[in-house]
């Protein structure tokens, strides 16, 4: 005697196009990955629902897990944006101070050389400061490890430590914290739904298939 472990409810899925009963999920502008449909198919295939109710539960797990992934991606964007904005602000201050020091030095040297202060033509170039900031930020955000290390060392030499700026944003960014506060509830819901789904699987009826004995 052999045992057929396929649930008797499996055929009911084939007889009911449940997707026709569900609203179509439109793409969301700004979503961090367009792969929702592929993720849904992969997850549902992994869960292998065998009844209509299991299928609906599986779809809920898809949406909850997808929400967690999107929330984490969104949190990273918020953290990255806040950190880069703060870094750019601090670096601009530092480069302006460097430019002001250079201006003062050039002015003093001009006067010491007997020049008339009304004839001094030195100036602070805002475009040069902005260019220096942009170039350093490009290094700090580069995909090349060596370029990032060099840019980090330059920023630290100016008195701006990107690591400390990032730490400050992790602790103080209101938007980033709001994302983190939303995660535990979603993760708890996934755990509870997963446990319920496992119980549904355990409760599946077992069909006994009789085979001829030679």
pTM, two decimals, is 0.67
Buried residues in 59-68 as b, exposed as e (16+ CB within 10 A):
bebbebbbeb
Q: Using an 8 Å Cβ cutoff, are 27 and 70 in contact? A: no
**CA dihedral angle for residue 135, residue 141, residue 146, residue 147, rounded to 10 degrees:** -10
Token pair in block for residue 54: 């299991």
Mutual angle of helices 52-112 and 174-202, in 10-degree steps: 160
10-67 tens-digit pLDDT: 444 444 454 555 556 666 666 656 688 888 889 999 999 988 889 999 999 999 999 9
DSSP state of 161: -
């Amino acid at each position: 005697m052999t045992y057929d472990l396929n649930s008797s409810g499996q055929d009911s899925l084939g007889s009911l196009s449940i997707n026709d009963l569900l609203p179509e999920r439109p793409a969301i502008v700004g979503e961090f990955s367009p792969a929702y449909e592929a993720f849904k198919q992969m997850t549902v295939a992994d869960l292998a629902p065998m009844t209509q109710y299991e299928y609906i539960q599986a779809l809920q797990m898809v949406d909850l897990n997808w929400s967690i992934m999107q929330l984490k991606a969104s949190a990273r964007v918020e953290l990255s944006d806040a950190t880069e904005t703060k870094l750019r602000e601090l670096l601009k201050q530092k480069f302006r101070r460097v430019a002001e020091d250079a201006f003062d030095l050039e002015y003093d040297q001009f006067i010491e050389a007997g020049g008339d202060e009304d004839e001094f033509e030195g100036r602070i170039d805002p475009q040069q400061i902005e260019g220096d900031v942009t170039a350093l930020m490009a290094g700090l955000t580069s995909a090349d490890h060596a370029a990032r290390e060099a840019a980090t060392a330059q920023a630290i030499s100016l008195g701006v430590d990107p690591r400390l700026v990032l730490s400050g944003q992790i602790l103080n960014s209101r938007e980033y914290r709001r994302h983190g506060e939303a995660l535990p509830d979603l993760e708890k819901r996934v755990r509870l739904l997963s446990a319920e789904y496992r119980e549904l699987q355990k409760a599946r009826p077992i069909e006994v298939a009789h085979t001829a004995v030679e």
